[in-house]
Amino acid sequence: MKMNVIPSAARNLLFAAGVLFASTALAAGSAEKGKAAFVQHGCWQCHGLVGQGGVTGPRLAHTALSVEALSAFVRNTRGAMPPYQKAILSEADIADIHAYLQSLPKPPDYKSIPLLKP
């Protein structure tokens, strides 16, 4: 079983790109449109329908990434995740998806879930 996580090189690229794009910040997206785009473009396949993550992709729900950093990663990833170029995923879509991910509730503390207590 492959463990698909963001490799460190890609992570560095992502944060560098986040800085680079800071001056050209993307417009705020629509969470409602983002939810549809998250499904239509296949993001859910590895990250889950509510961005919960799993062995095939890291958690995205309530991500700490800026929309610029997310865009930079999506465009330039050379890791396990296939890149999405503008031809198949617009900047507006990415902004909407980011808004959707931000709109998701913060994950509960596992200690509040009886079935997850040690």
Partner 1 sequence: MSQDTNPDRRKFLTGAAAASAAAAMAPAAKAAEPQQPPRAPSALRPTMQIAAAETQPPAELPRVPGKPGSDFMVDVIKTLGIKYLPANCASSYRAIHESLINYGQNKMPEFLTCMHEESAVGMAHGYFKIAGRPLMTLCHGTVGLQHATMGIYNAWCDRVPVIIVGGNDLDAAHRPPGVPTFHAAQDINALVRDFTKWDDTPVSLQHFAQSFVRAYKIAMTPPYGPVMMSLDAGLQVEPVKDHGEALYIPRYVPTAPPQGDTGAVKEAAKLLAGAQNPLIVADRCARTANGVDLLVQLAELLGARVIDQGGRMNFPKTHHLNAPPTAVSGADVILGLELSDFWATVNSFTDNGENGGVGTNGTRIKPGTKLISVSSVELNTKANYQDFQRFQVIDVPMAGDAEATLPALIEAVKQAGPNKAAVDRRAEAARKARAEGMERARQAAAVGWDASPVSTARLCMETYAAVKHLDWSLVASEGNVSNWPNRLWPIEKHYQWLGRSGGYGVGYGAPASVGAALANRDLGRFSVSIQSDGDLMYAPGVLWTAAKHKIPLLAVMHNNRAYHQEVMHVQRLSNFRDRVANYGPDRGPVGTTIMNPDIEYHKLAESLGWWAKGPIKDPKELGPALREAVKVVQAGQPALLNVWTQPR
Are 13 and 19 in contact, with CB atoms under 8 Å apart? Answer: no
Which of 31, 36, 46, 92 is in the footprint of partner 1 by CB under 8 A?
A: 46
Structure tokens at 98: 């980011």
Q: Which is nearer to partner 1, 37 or 67 (CB)?
A: 37
* Cβ burial, residue 59 (10 Å; 0-12/13-18/19+): middle
Binding of partner 1 by 107 (CB under 8 A) = yes
As a whole number of angstroms, the distance between CA 86 and CA 74 comes to 10
E-only strand ranges, the chain = none
Q: Give 8 or 23: the residue with its C-beta nearer to partner 1.
A: 8
Cα of first residue to Cα of last residue in the chain, in angstroms, is 26
With binding defined as CB under 8 A, does residue 8 bind partner 1?
no
Map the footprint of partner 1 across residues 18-37, applying CB under 8 A.
none
Smallest gap from Cβ 52 to partner 1, in A, equals 3
49-88 footprint of partner 1 as x/- string (CB under 8 A): xxxxxxxxx-x-x---------------xxxx-xxxx-xx
Instruction: Work out whether 40 is an interface residue with partner 1 (CB under 8 A).
Output: yes
Reference 8, options 80, 94, 59, 64; nearest CA is 80
Residue numbers at the binding site for partner 1 (CB under 8 A): 1-3, 7, 39-40, 42, 44-46, 48-57, 59, 61, 77-80, 82-85, 87-88, 107-110, 112-113, 115-116, 118
